[in-house]
């Protein structure tokens, strides 16, 4: 038996996106500040009370805000760039320390280093969530740290309400890395309403890289409700002169004029082609989330009956987007894990272990971010036994059956 598709099969771009991208290429209107003059791109703007032509990027920013419920957005070339801008706009400069997850993707500490900062790493727990007790302890030990870049690795959401409270009590600015958590919702305990993740911090950053819920190859989005932060990020992303007026999801002109000549232009803009590819994916998101979650629940159910594996639990406040699958190997030695990983790959199961020597999600490999390897024993223990695979939407029940069959067989092989 073989898998019907590669684990890295990306989701296709909807026909409307292909058509719009083609039109932009044929006319050459690729720069976000050079909109294609077509009736669909004229919008009634509340700002000046007149109908105005907007680019695909400007329209995408508005549509993204409508989806997540934020006021302002700036589209950039990656989530890494969005995090860099958020850190810069909230005051990170050379030598400034920033708390962040020890378990995340290398782009996260890299964005801190890019902004001139130095990461101070926080432990994760067996559910891949930021360990709040460790955070509180490190806040005490490092009273000079004023920032937390909180990463929701693989869409696993820590107790952000509690984390936000600790931030507020200690004058720490919270920025949320939502790269892999678009569509995830948070509902406070005792509350009737849920909202999209990304509303606890000063800014939230999303990704449109192919492995995420939206596929544009590359792309990022920063969203915020803070007018100063929004204006700063729009300008720093590469909006000069009066170009900010071509943004829809933006604060008033005077917010820009006050600061505009003091902000460097980092040229991180998204181009119209990327926006044209993303826009038709937004109305399809909720349906996609349900489809992913249906796959995820099937797998999760089977996994609860497999010996030597544990699946992460989820906080009751969170509704997930299960577009990838993680599990922990229990009671296994490093060499057994190594063998398990190798045998899985031989059978076409594209599995990775986060804490593997060459993995970009293993903090020991982030040599650019520290002089001395930080001691993060808890995270180390967890991620060296934490397995991960992508769950392509095009997988069917046969593929899922094959995954669990291989895992069962290899576990018994490796454990004997
Ligand atoms: C993918 C990812 C990033 C980086 O996103 P890019 O758009 O590739 O810069 C950051 N954090 C997490 C948790 C991710 O999954």
| Per-state percent for the chain, helix, strand, coil, to nearest 5 | 40, 15, 45
The domains of the chain are located at: 15-283, 284-415
Burial of 180 from C-beta contacts in 10 A (0-12 / 13-18 / 19+): buried
Residue 32 has pLDDT above 90, yes or no: yes
% of the chain residues with pLDDT over 70: 99
Please report the DSSP string for 159-178 in residue order: -HHHHHHHHHHTT-EEEEE-
Angstrom CA distances, 348 to 125, 368, 385, stand at 29, 33, 20
What's the confidence (pLDDT) of residue 47?
62
Residue 367 has pLDDT above 80, yes or no: yes
Mutation pick for ligand 1 pocket among 80, 183, 203, 218 (CB with most ligand atoms within 8 Å): 80
pLDDT category, 372, cuts 50, 70, 90?
Answer: very high
Hey, which residues does 42 pair with through a beta bridge?
A: 53
Per-residue pLDDT of 153-186, as tens digits, reads: 999 999 999 999 999 999 999 999 999 999 999 9
Q: How far is ligand 1, taken at its centre, from the CA of residue 27, in Å?
A: 32
pLDDT category, 2, cuts 50, 70, 90?
Answer: confident
Please name the fold of domain 15-283: 3.40.640
Please name the fold of domain 284-415: 3.90.1150
Q: Point out the ligand 1 atom lying closest to the alpha carbon of residue 78.
A: 7
Q: How far is ligand 1, taken at its centre, from the CA of residue 324, in Å?
A: 14
Angstrom CA distances, 292 to 46, 152, 309, 318, 321, stand at 37, 18, 21, 16, 7
Residues with Cβ within 6 A of ligand 1? 78-80, 104-105, 107-108, 151, 153, 177, 179-180, 207, 209, 220
- Nearest residue (by CA) to ligand 1, atom 13, is 153
Residue 46 has pLDDT above 70, yes or no: no
In 3D space, the residue among 183, 206, 214 whose CA is nearest the CA of residue 196 turns out to be 183
pLDDT category, 1, cuts 50, 70, 90?
Answer: confident
Q: Point out the ligand 1 atom lying closest to the alpha carbon of residue 151.
A: 13
Mutation pick for ligand 1 pocket among 112, 114, 179 (CB with most ligand atoms within 8 Å): 179
What's the confidence (pLDDT) of residue 49?
72
Tell me the residue length of the chain: 416
Per-residue pLDDT of 57-116, as tens digits, reads: 999 999 999 999 999 999 999 999 999 999 999 999 999 999 999 999 999 999 999 999
0.95 surpassed by pTM: yes
Residue 48 has pLDDT above 70, yes or no: no
The CB density around residue 314, as the number of other CB atoms within 10 Å, is 17
Mutation pick for ligand 1 pocket among 108, 129, 207, 219 (CB with most ligand atoms within 8 Å): 207
The CB density around residue 398, as the number of other CB atoms within 10 Å, is 12
Nearest 10 degrees: Cα torsion 106, 119, 365, 137: -110
Taking phi over 0 as left and psi of -120 to 50 as alpha, with beta for the rest, 261 belongs to: alpha
Dist CA 280 CA 321 (whole Å): 19
């Amino acid at each position: 038996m073989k898998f019907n598709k590669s684990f890295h099969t990306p989701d296709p771009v909807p026909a409307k996106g292909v058509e719009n991208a083609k039109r932009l290429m044929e006319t050459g209107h690729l720069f976000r500040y050079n909109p294609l003059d077509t009736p669909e791109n004229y919008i009634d703007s509340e700002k000046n009370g007149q109908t105005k032509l907007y680019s695909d990027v400007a329209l995408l920013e508005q549509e993204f805000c409508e989806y997540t419920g934020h006021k302002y957005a700036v589209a950039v070339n990656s989530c890494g760039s969005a995090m860099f801008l958020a850190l810069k706009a909230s005051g990170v400069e050379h030598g400034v320390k920033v708390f962040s997850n020890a378990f995340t993707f290398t782009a996260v500490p890299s964005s801190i280093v890019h902004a001139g900062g130095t990461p101070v790493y926080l432990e994760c727990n067996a559910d891949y969530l930021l360990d709040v007790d460790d955070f509180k302890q490190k806040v005490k030990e490092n009273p000079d740290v004023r920032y937390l870049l909180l990463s929701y690795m693989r869409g696993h959401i820590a107790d952000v309400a509690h984390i936000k409270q600790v931030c507020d009590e200690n004058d720490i600015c919270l920025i949320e890395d939502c790269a892999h958590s678009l569509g995830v919702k948070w509902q406070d305990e005792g509350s009737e309403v849920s909202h999209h993740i990304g509303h606890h911090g000063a800014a939230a950053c999303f990704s449109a890289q192919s492995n995420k819920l939206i596929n544009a190859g590359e792309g990022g989005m920063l969203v915020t409700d803070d007018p100063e932060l929004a204006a700063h990020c729009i300008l720093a992303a590469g909006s000069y002169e009066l170009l900010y007026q071509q943004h829809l999801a933006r604060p008033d002109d005077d917010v820009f004029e006050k600061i505009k000549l003091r902000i460097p232009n980092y040229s991180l803009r998204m181009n119209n082609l990327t926006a044209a590819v993303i826009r038709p994916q937004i109305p399809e998101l909720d349906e996609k989330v349900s489809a992913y979650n249906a796959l995820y629940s099937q797998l999760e159910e089977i996994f609860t009956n497999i010996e030597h594996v544990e699946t992460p639990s989820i906080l009751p406040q969170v509704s997930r987007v299960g577009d990838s699958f993680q599990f922990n190997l229990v009671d296994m030695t490093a060499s057994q894990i190594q063998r398990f990983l190798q045998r899985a790959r031989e059978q076409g199961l594209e599995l990775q272990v986060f804490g593997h020597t060459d993995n970009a999600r293993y903090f020991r490999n982030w040599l650019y971010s520290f002089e001395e390897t930080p001691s993060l024993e808890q995270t180390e223990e967890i991620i060296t036994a934490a397995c991960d695979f992508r769950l392509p939407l095009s997988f069917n029940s046969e593929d899922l059956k094959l995954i669990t069959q291989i895992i069962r067989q290899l576990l018994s092989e490796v454990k004997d």
